[in-house]
Structure 1
Amino acid sequence: MTNQFLWVIFPYICMATFIVGHIFRYRNDQFGWTAKSSEFIEKKQLMIGSILFHVGIIPVIAGHVVGLGVPKEWTRALGISDHLYHMGAIWVGGLFGFMTLIGMVILTWRRFALKNVRQLSSASDLIVNSLLLLIVFLGIYSVVVTNAVQPEFDYRDSISVWFRSLLIFRPEAVYMSAVPLAFQLHVLTGLLIFAMWPFTRLVHVWSVPLNYVGRSYILYRKNRVN
């Protein structure tokens, strides 16, 4: 029953919340669809952390898409052996993963440690930063430590197959039963951040400033001085 909830019910709840939540947020809170930048308070750490995080996270996301969505038979057909793929995942994925982790450490420390930035932050900002840091750490730990301790484990024979079974609405929770704990926690926290996404500043990821071109109005916010 626990397996069914964690690897079937919970993922679908997160997916549904992600989709419906974005639609609701966009229809009811377009002016809140923003990153609410704190750059005017502190720039240096924000710039360093943001560059490291964004440069690292793009290849990491691409690696996840390939690793989860592309069956190993397809990569073999392209002439990429399992060993070569594994080495690429560890060394290339590890490099960009560490870059992402360092960026998140800087951004999270900045948000919690700098008083002015913390005061500007909402509770969801602090939770999202902490959760993203945990997700990235678990991902690095899984790739570096768990793969070293359990070299026989191949996530493409378990996690990837389970993930694709969800997409075709034929979920197979059994594939996750023997997955190492670090990988399981990485997956669960990843699903959780997707469920939270529509209700946080993460929605700014989908924003493209082209919609400001030709806009006939500007919204000003006045600060009251008591």
Structure 2
Amino acid sequence: MFEQFLWVIYPYICGVIFIVGHIFRYRHDKFNWTAKSSEFIEKKQLMIGSILFHVGIIPVIMGHVSGLGIPKEWMRAIGVNDHLYHLGAVYIGGFFGFVTFAGMLILTTRRFTIKNVRKLSSVSDLIVNTLLLFIICLGMYATLVTNAVQPDFDYRTSISVWFRDLLAFHPDPALMRDVPISFQLHILSGFLIFALWPFTRLVHVWSVPLNYVGRSYILYRKNRTHQQ
């Protein structure tokens, strides 16, 4: 029963909260749909941390999408054998994972240690930063340590199959039974961040100002007064 809850009920609960929460917040709290920037308090660490995090997280997300969404047989069909895939996941994924970790560590340390930034932060801000850092650490540990200690474990025959079945609404919790604890915690905490997403500053991800690319420049002119 507990296995059924963890790998069937809990993911769907998080998914429903993610969808319904976004709809509710957009309809009833759209004016607080913001990232609440603290750039005016401290800029250097924010810039470095943000750049590292965003440069790292995009390839990491793409790696998760390909690893979970594309069956290994399809990868073999296009010439990517298991050994080549493993090298890419460990070394390329590990590199961008480290970049993401470095950026998140800077951002989290900044939020907790700089007094004025901490005062501006809400409880949800502190929770999100800590949880994201925890998720990234687990992902790095699973990729670099667990894979080295248990080289025979292949998440594409267990986690990936379970995840695709989850999207198809017929997940098999037995597939997750022998998955190493580091991977399990990484997945469970990942679903938790999706459940918290609508109620935190993470909603700003959906508000990319694409109209800025084509908008006209804003001109500023001095107001000159002539002396009589």
Name the TM-score, length of structure 1 as normaliser: 0.93
Amino acid at match of 2:111: R
CA-CA distance at 1:211 after TM superposition: 6.6
Amino acid at match of 1:7: W
For residues 151-175 of structure 1, give each alpha carbon's deviation from its aligned partner in whole angstroms, at most 9, with x where no partner exists.
0001101100000010000011011
The residue that corresponds to 1:114 in the other structure is 114
The residue that corresponds to 1:45 in the other structure is 45
2:92 equivalent to 1:124 = no
The residue that corresponds to 1:187 in the other structure is 187
Amino acid at match of 1:72: K
Runs of 5+ consecutive residues of structure 2 not aligned to the other structure:
217-228
The residue that corresponds to 1:60 in the other structure is 60
CA-CA distance at 1:192 after TM superposition: 0.1
* Distance in 1, Cα, partners of 2:65 & 2:33: 26
The DSSP-based 3-state class of the residue aligned with 2:171 is coil
* Distance in 1, Cα, partners of 2:74 & 2:40: 48
Number of residue pairs aligned between Structure 1 and Structure 2: 214
The residue that corresponds to 1:159 in the other structure is 159
Amino acid at match of 1:73: E
Name the TM-score, length of structure 2 as normaliser: 0.92
List aligned pairs for 1:89-104, cutoff 5 A: 89-104=89-104
The residue that corresponds to 2:26 in the other structure is 26
* Distance in 2, Cα, partners of 1:208 & 1:178: 40
The DSSP-based 3-state class of the residue aligned with 1:196 is helix
Amino acid at match of 1:6: L
* Distance in 2, Cα, partners of 1:78 & 1:209: 37
Amino acid at match of 2:193: I
2:108 equivalent to 1:69 = no
The DSSP-based 3-state class of the residue aligned with 1:54 is helix
CA-CA distance at 1:30 after TM superposition: 1.0
For residues 117-136 of structure 1, give each alpha carbon's deviation from its aligned partner in whole angstroms, at most 9, with x where no partner exists.
00000000000000000000
2:176 equivalent to 1:176 = yes
Identity over aligned residues, as a percent? 73
* Distance in 2, Cα, partners of 1:69 & 1:96: 19
CA-CA distance at 1:210 after TM superposition: 4.7
For residues 32-78 of structure 1, give each alpha carbon's deviation from its aligned partner in whole angstroms, at most 9, with x where no partner exists.
11100000000000000000000000000000000000000100000
* Distance in 2, Cα, partners of 1:210 & 1:180: 41
* Distance in 1, Cα, partners of 2:85 & 2:106: 31
The DSSP-based 3-state class of the residue aligned with 1:171 is coil
* Distance in 1, Cα, partners of 2:203 & 2:74: 33
Q: Which runs of 4+ in 1 moved over 3 A?
A: 210-214
The DSSP-based 3-state class of the residue aligned with 2:79 is coil
> Larger C-alpha radius of gyration, 1 or 2?
2
For residues 88-113 of structure 1, give each alpha carbon's deviation from its aligned partner in whole angstroms, at most 9, with x where no partner exists.
00000000000000111100000000
* Distance in 1, Cα, partners of 2:95 & 2:167: 29
The residue that corresponds to 1:198 in the other structure is 198
CA-CA distance at 1:208 after TM superposition: 2.5
* Distance in 2, Cα, partners of 1:58 & 1:105: 17
* Distance in 2, Cα, partners of 1:106 & 1:120: 17
* Distance in 2, Cα, partners of 1:61 & 1:10: 22
